[in-house]
């Protein structure tokens, strides 16, 4: 059962990374179709990172209320409507609204896709499974290049139409598979707090997107920022009230009462923040070396290849070594890589740093967090604890992207991917962003060393 949960966690990570691999390299092409700055366009990626895990959490409620066919159909329709809205969009609101629907639909489809993949792997021999995993990894590595090529010849809107075609093919095959309803074995938890959590994170992202970092800290309290702060903080009140009255609250009391979980919350948020390496660095390097924008897909593919190659090693190491040391080592590598990226100037230096950062992402993001939860929670509490950590990781990733790109925007680099930006200004902004990412990573080192140890017993946790 533990193996099942770990594999699902890794599969979720790979699917989320695949989405980034599709859309990150083509953001410059999308920016050319609209007049919005980079810190608004990054919402295309941030919304996916936030709402995908959120919809996974809602799935636990949906499947307890509705049949498999209904959940699958609603999720598929949400994905299709969202993709069509994005493909036909003429403004930022339509684009982001479609992205939210697409992310919610993808989150509803994911559990069924994972179950089908798990059954497919179980029916095959070990060598066949290795070939299958290798083929999936190769597809992930090549995805940025394919997405860039399709965009170059057919336009970025075609990506959404291709996504609808792939989803339709899977829907036709999956809906014919007979699955038993899980309604009788699942607790119907309150879903409203999860919706409000998504709204709170959205307001936090809006808050950061309005901050001017050149105001010496006072930008956080500017008149155009305070309303979003008030909404984000104020929405916690109805969440608390609803949870206190719910028979089966989603955010169970142990999620707040157990201080060890708060360490994991910080770890999840910080690990989500360092997604900047996958998303912004290829564009930084392409601009710094004065290369074609299409070539950033090659750097993205190289980074993914390093992550996937080191994945089996990290996975095996996590079985025999302390996860505290593994995560601390990952954050340390990430901090060193970001700090050196801030001052690198030569192409060979960037290549080496991409290799180092890929290893850091593997060590930090791919540690099976359910092994940690098993040591500090009971079996009944693991489900909601794991879902909460996924929500915080996604929220940290989304907020981190908005934070870093808003810092760029504060330098006036609304079109930072274009060559007319003064080089000295771009270098200064890039150094600030990368040094901030390095500082976050070094904070992650300290937090990782404080994580609960393997000898923490469930009994002591329950007695608290």
Structure tokens at 28: 């410059």
CB 383 within 8 A of CB 185: no
Q: Rounded to an integer, what distance in angstroms lies between the CA atom of residue 104 and that of residue 56?
A: 8
Q: Rounded to an integer, what distance in angstroms lies between the CA atom of residue 326 and that of residue 349?
A: 25
Q: Rounded to an integer, what distance in angstroms lies between the CA atom of residue 335 and that of residue 359?
A: 12
pLDDT in tens, 22-58: 888 888 788 778 777 777 878 888 888 888 877 777 7
Collect all residues with Cβ–Cβ distance below 8 Å to 421 and sequence separation of at least 6. 287, 413, 415
Q: Regarding predicted confidence, which is higher, 151 or 259?
A: 151
Collect all residues with Cβ–Cβ distance below 8 Å to 429 and sequence separation of at least 6. 407, 408, 410, 411, 413, 416
> Taking the CB of residue 352, how many other CB atoms lie within 10 A of it?
13
pLDDT in tens, 183-194: 445 556 666 777
Least confident range of 222-226, 261-265, 398-402: 261-265
Q: Rounded to an integer, what distance in angstroms lies between the CA atom of residue 142 and that of residue 116?
A: 23
CB 267 within 8 A of CB 327: yes
Apex 300 CA angle, 294 and 303, nearest 5: 155
4-13, 119-128, 232-241 — most confident range: 232-241
Position 278 pLDDT exceeds 70: yes
Collect all residues with Cβ–Cβ distance below 8 Å to 232 and sequence separation of at least 6. 200, 203, 204, 207
Give just the sign of the alpha carbon dihedral 105, 108, 112, 114.
positive
> Taking the CB of residue 315, how many other CB atoms lie within 10 A of it?
16
Mean per-residue pLDDT over the chain, rounded: 77
Q: Rounded to an integer, what distance in angstroms lies between the CA atom of residue 373 and that of residue 249?
A: 19
Position 461 pLDDT exceeds 60: no
Structure tokens at 217: 């800290």
Q: Rounded to an integer, what distance in angstroms lies between the CA atom of residue 186 and that of residue 414?
A: 48
Average pLDDT over residues 153-172: 89
Percent of the chain with pLDDT over 90: 6
Question: What b/e sequence results for 402-412 when a residue is b if at least 16 CB atoms lie within 10 Å of its CB, and e otherwise?
Answer: bbbbbbbbbbe
DSSP helix/strand/coil, 453: coil
Please, which pLDDT band fits residue 381 given cuts at 50, 70 and 90? low
pLDDT in tens, 400-436: 888 888 887 776 655 444 445 556 677 777 888 889 8
Please name which of 16, 70, 56, 5 lies closest in space to residue 191, comparing C-alpha atoms: 56
DSSP secondary structure, 370-428, as one string: HHHHHHHS-TTTHHHHHHHHHHHHHHHHHHHHHHHHHHHHHTT-TTTTSTTS-HHHHHH
The DSSP code for 221 is G
pLDDT at 338: 92
Least confident range of 67-76, 337-346, 424-433, 453-462: 453-462
Please name which of 309, 367, 363 lies closest in space to residue 337, comparing C-alpha atoms: 363
Structure tokens at 410: 């504060």
Report CA-CA distances (Å) from 452 to 114, 260, 392, 461: 29, 6, 18, 11
Region of residue 290 (left: phi > 0; alpha: psi -120 to 50; beta: else):
left
Structure tokens at 284: 């930084």
Position 358 pLDDT exceeds 70: yes
Average pLDDT over residues 370-379: 67
Q: Regarding predicted confidence, which is higher, 441 or 251?
A: 441
Collect all residues with Cβ–Cβ distance below 8 Å to 260 and sequence separation of at least 6. 376, 452, 456, 461
For residue 61, what is the enclosing H or E element?
Answer: helix 43-65
> Taking the CB of residue 178, how many other CB atoms lie within 10 A of it?
6
Collect all residues with Cβ–Cβ distance below 8 Å to 352 and sequence separation of at least 6. none
């Amino acid at each position: 059962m533990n193996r099942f949960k770990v594999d699902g966690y890794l599969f979720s990570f790979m699917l989320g990374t695949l989405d980034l691999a599709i859309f990150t390299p083509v953001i410059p092409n999308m920016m050319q179709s609209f007049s919005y700055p980079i810190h608004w366009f990054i919402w295309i990626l941030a919304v996916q990172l936030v709402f995908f895990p959120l919809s996974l959490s809602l799935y636990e409620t949906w499947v307890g209320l509705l049949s498999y066919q209904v959940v699958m159909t609603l999720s598929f329709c949400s994905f299709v409507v969202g993709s069509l809205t994005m493909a036909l969009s003429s403004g930022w609101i339509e684009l982001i609204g479609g992205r939210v629907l697409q992310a919610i639909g993808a989150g509803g489809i994911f559990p069924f896709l994972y179950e089908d993949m798990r059954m497919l792997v179980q029916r095959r021999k070990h060598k066949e499974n290795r070939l299958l995993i290798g083929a999936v990894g190769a597809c992930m590595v090549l995805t940025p290049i394919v997405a860039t090529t399709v965009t170059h010849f057919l336009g970025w809107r075609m990506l959404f139409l291709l996504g609808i075609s792939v989803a339709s093919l899977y829907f036709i095959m999956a809906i014919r598979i007979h699955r038993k309803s899980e309604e009788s074995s699942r607790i119907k938890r309150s879903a409203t707090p999860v919706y409000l959590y998504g709204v709170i994170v959205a307001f936090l992202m809006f808050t950061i997107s309005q901050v001017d970092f050149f105001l010496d800290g006072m930008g956080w309290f500017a008149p155009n920022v305070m309303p979003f702060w008030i909404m984000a903080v104020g929405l916690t009140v109805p969440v608390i009230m609803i949870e206190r009255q719910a028979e089966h609250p989603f955010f169970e009391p142990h999620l707040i009462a157990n201080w060890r979980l708060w360490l994991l919350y910080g770890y999840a948020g910080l690990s989500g923040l360092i997604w900047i390496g996958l998303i912004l660095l290829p564009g930084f390097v392409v601009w710094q070396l004065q290369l074609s924008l299409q070539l950033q897909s090659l750097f993205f593919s190289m980074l993914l290849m390093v992550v996937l190659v080191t994945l089996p090693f990290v996975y095996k190491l996590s079985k025999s070594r302390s996860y505290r040391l593994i995560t601390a080592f990952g954050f340390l590598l990430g901090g060193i890589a970001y700090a050196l990226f801030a001052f690198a100037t030569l192409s060979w230096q960037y290549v080496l740093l991409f290799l180092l950062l890929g290893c850091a992402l593997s060590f930090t993001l791919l540690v099976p967090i359910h092994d940690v939860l098993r040591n500090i929670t009971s079996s009944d509490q693991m489900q909601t604890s794991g879902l909460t950590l996924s929500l915080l990781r996604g929220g940290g990733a989304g907020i981190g992207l908005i934070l870093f790109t808003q810092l760029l925007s504060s330098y006036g680099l609304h079109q930072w991917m274009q060559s007319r930006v003064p080089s000295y200004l771009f270098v200064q902004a890039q150094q600030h962003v990368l040094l901030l990412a390095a500082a976050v990573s070094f904070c992650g080192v300290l937090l990782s060393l404080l994580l609960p140890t393997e000898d923490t017993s469930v009994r002591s946790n329950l007695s608290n």
